[in-house]
Chain A
Amino acid sequence: MSNKPFDWRATPGLGGFSLIVFLFLYAPLLVIVIYSFNVGRQATVWEGFSFDWYARVFSNRDMGVALRNSLIVAAASMALSTTLAVTAALSMRRGASGAGGKLTLGLILLPLVVPEIVVAVATLVFFSGIGLKLGLGNLIIAHTVFCVPFAFLPIQARLADMGSAVEDAGRDLYSDEWQVFRRVTLPLLMPAILSGAMLAFASSLDDFLISMLLADAGQTTLPVYIYGMLRLGVSPEVNAVSTLLLGSSVLIVLVALRLQRMSKAK
């Protein structure tokens, strides 16, 4: 390699270009984080370092309720969508061939291409049409649907490159299908399932538009609450709660992706 005068992998200027793009992606987020530690009421004039706004956030009762709602919805839709994703991925074990498989795959991936506003509107008119009033249950159903693809993709990827040799060995040793699943398939699949579950949790926590259209009074989720605060104007409190939300999303996803990598390495 080293004696070649031409390296096609190195395009001149591309490193600098990419650096700028990454700065473009991350610098704006850093602005929120930095200003969340600002002393002053002015959200974007730096006056000194403090944790005051975080204290304010933690003593805000309405925000606490919104956070609790967000966590309940995210946890419930994580559990439901991951269960659906596991069964769906197992059903495609032998590939998504045939009309049924293609249809199932298409339906699972549908929430990725339909704009959120369309999903929000459709779910809203549907729930109001059938008169479904389950409180947070309505939100949980809606979130479950769009979380399914995020839970599904890592699990399916793991199943696809797992092969069936270990499971066949189990069968040769006279295990029945349930035992093979319980003792062989499930443990091997576990990191991918956890990863999918966390990605589902993160995408539920991410959602704003669907929650805003569906949530009735008392069902406000954290992003919807933050949006309400923003309507009243930019404030350091918004920066602080945004930083907290941002930090937890990043943490969850980093762990999820690490799990995914571990499951691949095995």
Chain B
Amino acid sequence: MSSASRSTALLRAPVLLTMILFMVLPMGVAVVYSFLTNGAYGGVKLPFTTAAYLKLLVQEDLDGKLGFSPAYLIILWRSVLLAGLTVIISIIIGLPLAWYIACAAPAKRGRLLLLVTLPFWINTLIRTYCWVLILRDEGLVNQSLRRMGLIDGHIQFLYNDVAILLGMVYTYLPFMVLPIFAVLERLNGDIIEASHDLYADRWTTFRRMVWPIAMPGTIAGSLLVFAPALGSFLAPDLLGGGKRLMIGSLIQLQFSSSRNWPFGSALATVVSIGILLALFLVVRKNFDKVLGR
């Protein structure tokens, strides 16, 4: 048995090493960078400081005095709010869709599942860009409305929170449908029949029979949607016009035009801590159920 456990360790070593060296360690380095001083042309220098985290809360005013400034907190809050709304809308669309797929005949089920999965593999940039084509001032919607004589000029659909929200729901919806489907697929039809035989209506059956089974999938899906939505860059950038910032675009700015690596690292650290907390505290048990363990 010891030779078996040694071969297990040998097989495991390469992937463990890669993930620790190029995923966990870099995240650790980012945490260290967040406590360093901002270098003049990007990069960092000593000494250690908590300035980057303080920047989240306070800013120098014109006289050089430090005062509380909610500007960055508002961006953080907006990001959490938009990501949360994305989760809620995805549940409202994803839960019935997952149920529909789970109820379909096996052959059709495979095809429907493929249709849900496929967009996931298409470049997010392209999937966000297509909404620019549709919503912009000279876009498809405005042209159609003009042709129907409903409007004269154009309505601005882009560059607001609704457009960002639309882009995020469009991008992350598959992440919600798949885990919910994974648990509903294992649903035993007999209990639904039994529930009906005992005179429960559809709503009661859903609430008492389907929902308890769908819940772990929904929670897993919520995290899979919330995490990337919170750090979303393309939706706020292309559909929000880069002016309605979310934390993802704010982080990206620190590594391009703003050149403040410690602040960018601090923001990334805040996002990671939030998501890791959610992962460890809330959903670990639910993921086990989704993976069928």
Contacts and interface: CB of A to CB of B under 8 A. Distances in A.
Interface of A: 6, 8-11, 14-15, 17-18, 21-22, 24-26, 28-29, 31-32, 35, 42-45, 83-85, 87-88, 90-91, 93-94, 100, 103-104, 107-108, 110-119, 121-129, 141-142, 144-145, 148, 199, 202-203, 205-206, 208-209, 213, 223, 226-227, 230, 234, 238-239, 242, 245-246, 249-250, 252-254, 257, 261
A212 to B, nearest CB: 8
Contacts of A28: 127, 130-131, 133-134, 170
Contacts, number: 241
A115 B124 contact: no
A56 B253 CA distance: 32
Interface residues of B, number: 83
Given A113-B224, A117-B268, A118-B251, 11 more contacts: A8-B193, A24-B170, A25-B116, A28-B134, A35-B133, A44-B133, A44-B143, A107-B16, A145-B19, A206-B122, A209-B234
Contacts of A145: 18-19, 22-23
A18 B138 contact: no
B286 to A, nearest CB: 13
B26 A25 contact: no
A242 B143 CA distance: 22
Contacts of B11: 87-88, 90-91
26 contacts: A8-B192, A11-B100, A14-B100, A17-B96, A29-B130, A31-B130, A35-B133, A42-B138, A43-B133, A44-B139, A44-B140, A44-B143, A87-B14, A87-B15, A88-B12, A91-B9, A116-B228, A121-B30, A121-B264, A122-B27, A122-B268, A125-B261, A234-B132, A242-B129, A249-B122, A253-B118
Contact of A91 (B8, B130, B143, B248): B8
Contacts of B134: 28, 31
Interface of B: 8-9, 11-12, 14-16, 18-20, 22-27, 29-30, 33, 43, 93, 96-97, 99-101, 103, 110, 112, 114-119, 121-127, 129-134, 136, 138-140, 143, 170, 173, 189, 192-193, 196, 202, 205, 223-224, 227-228, 230-234, 238, 248, 251-252, 255, 261, 264-265, 268, 271-272, 275, 279
A22 B14 CA distance: 41
Contacts of A6: 196
Given A11-B99, A35-B133, A206-B121, A125 B279 contact: no
| Contact residues of B: prevailing secondary structure | helix
Given A28-B131, A32-B129, A208 B121 contact: no
B251 A121 contact: yes
Nearest to B252: A117
Contacts of A199: 121
The residue in A11, A125, A223 that gathers the most chain B C-beta atoms within 10 A of its C-beta is A125
B248 A117 contact: yes
A6 B232 CA distance: 44
B26 A257 contact: no
B205 A17 contact: no
B238 A18 contact: no
A124 B289 CA distance: 35
